[in-house]
Amino acid sequence: MNRNSTPSTGDDTGAPHALTRRRLLGTAGAAGAAGLALGAAGGAIGYAATRDEAPTTLTAVGSTEVMFHGKHQPGITTPLQARGHLIAFDLAPGAGRKEAAALMRRWSAVARRLMAGEPAEGAADGPGHDTGIALDAGPSSLTITFGFGYDFFARTGLTARRPPGLDPLPPFSSDHLDAGWSNGDLWVQIGADDALVAFHALRAIQREAASTATVRWQMNGFNRTPGATAKPMTARNLMGQVDGTGNPKPTDADFDRRIFVPGGQNAAYDWLTGGSYAVVRRIRMLLDDWEKLPVEQQERVIGRRKADGAPLSGGTETTPMDLDKVGPDGKLLIPENAHARISSPERNSGAAMLRRPFSYHDGISADGTPDAGLLFICWQADPLRGFVTVQRKLDRGDALSPFLRHEASGLFAVPGGAAAGEYVGQRLLES
């Protein structure tokens, strides 16, 4: 059964939804009454069950599916997933616009199938061949998101269509960037709530790249597993802080304007309508130094309480920060150099970005310190008004900076979502 026969929810936000019983029955309708239960389990939940097995129900984690088609690509407003892989490619010598278009078509097809919980059927090794890594699992909130880097446009003869937002990021004084781990022609973000599902997608994407594009860099990350906390909560990072509180919410009146590129501006960049810019930074945390700080000092570095993320000016996690409030000693409760103060939209002419990171841990370095930190990914309609504005400020006196090292950097234009029958980037590559 083709998974795509499932009725659309009409949800174009990229937000995930669990396969409800109603949706399963709707999908199974064509299978006939006798095969209903098995049809529902075996069909709607992809290739989770083999014919001879009794139908089993996947957990909510396994059965949650995010739609591939929509106004925006998935993986931007989708809640953080437990596993992430970032991979950047460069087009192979001789590969131009035609080959890039064919690759985006193949990648989109594989992304749509995998996000629906179907096998890859990769063209790379012949029809029907799938690595089997995700056998038994459902979609598990898998998202696959594609972006184009600065050099992609020259390589495909499309320089005139390269939007100014892709101009290279300025240098920052705290940069310790490794060029080999930065940028790239093509960028793919993979997220899933199951490690095998995520790795399966990574392999499928790499296999489909075949001889068209070669891997430039690859990074692996993680977040808390859904269900690990008694109720859904803002994530914590590897410094132990509640991280993500100040993010703009999709329900905010100006959310779309800040995060997604509006249409009707310049015809040359119309292909990016509904898209966004992703800034990717591998930020190493100097955890040995950080963990030596008493908790009260850690809290003053951020301006928020460690236990619950509440601002030091009082209240709960969601209470707005009172940046002017002083304590009995007359000193600001949220210090002048606190990270949350310096990065707050009201201190940055309203600059806002959606931070959607993964933590990473790549083992212990030769000097005994953990090679761990944040794969910081932020989304915005304009990187100059988002990341660059805020990072410039942070660069000049953020109390958190001494505990961080920016080691890699990327900036990618992420096209809007593909409509049904379309592939990601088609409006750029075929017009």
Choosing from 118, 208, 243, 382, the residue that interacts with ligand HEM (CB under 6 A) is 243
Under 8 Å between Cβ of 417 and 424: yes
**Residues in Cβ contact with 169 at an 8 Å cutoff, skipping those fewer than 6 apart:** 279, 383, 387, 388, 409, 411
339 touches ligand HEM (CB under 6 A): yes
Which residue stretch of 27-35, 252-260, 287-295, 390-398 sits at the interface with ligand HEM (rule: CB under 6 A)?
A: 390-398
122 touches ligand HEM (CB under 6 A): no
Q: Which is nearer to ligand HEM, 117 or 410 (CB)?
A: 410
Q: Which of residues 3-22 bind ligand HEM (CB under 6 A)?
A: none
DSSP labels, 298-359: HHHHHTB-TTT--BTTSS-TTSPP-TT-B-TTS-BSS-TT-HHHHTSGGGTTT---EE--EE
Among candidate residues 193, 243, 382, 398, the one labeled active-site is 243
Q: Which of residues 253-282 bind ligand HEM (CB under 6 A)?
A: 281
Under 8 Å between Cβ of 145 and 75: yes
287 touches ligand HEM (CB under 6 A): no
DSSP labels, 85-119: EEEEEEEPTT--HHHHHHHHHHHHHHHHHHHTT--
223 touches ligand HEM (CB under 6 A): no
**Residues in Cβ contact with 334 at an 8 Å cutoff, skipping those fewer than 6 apart:** 303, 311, 312, 313, 321, 322, 323, 325, 340, 341
Q: Residues 288-327: x/- map of binding to ligand HEM (CB under 6 A)? A: --------------x-x----x------------------
413 touches ligand HEM (CB under 6 A): no
φ and ψ at residue 299, rounded to 5 degrees:
-70, -35
Q: Which is nearer to ligand HEM, 125 or 346 (CB)?
A: 346
Choosing from 27, 78, 241, 298, the residue that interacts with ligand HEM (CB under 6 A) is 241
Q: Which residues pair with 410 in a beta bridge?
A: 280
- DSSP element (H, E) containing 192: strand 186-192
Report the distance separating Cα 388 and Cα 392, nearest Å: 6
Any catalytic annotation for residue 243?
yes
Q: Which is nearer to ligand HEM, 207 or 281 (CB)?
A: 281
Report the distance separating Cα 74 and Cα 142, nearest Å: 9
Q: Which of residues 37-76 bind ligand HEM (CB under 6 A)?
A: none
Choosing from 39, 70, 149, 373, the residue that interacts with ligand HEM (CB under 6 A) is 373
Token couple for 421: 């029958």
Total binding residues for ligand HEM by CB under 6 A? 27
Binding region for ligand HEM (CB under 6 A): 237, 239, 241, 243-246, 281, 283, 285, 302, 304, 309, 339-340, 343-345, 353, 373-374, 376, 387, 390-391, 394, 404
Residues taking part in catalysis: 243
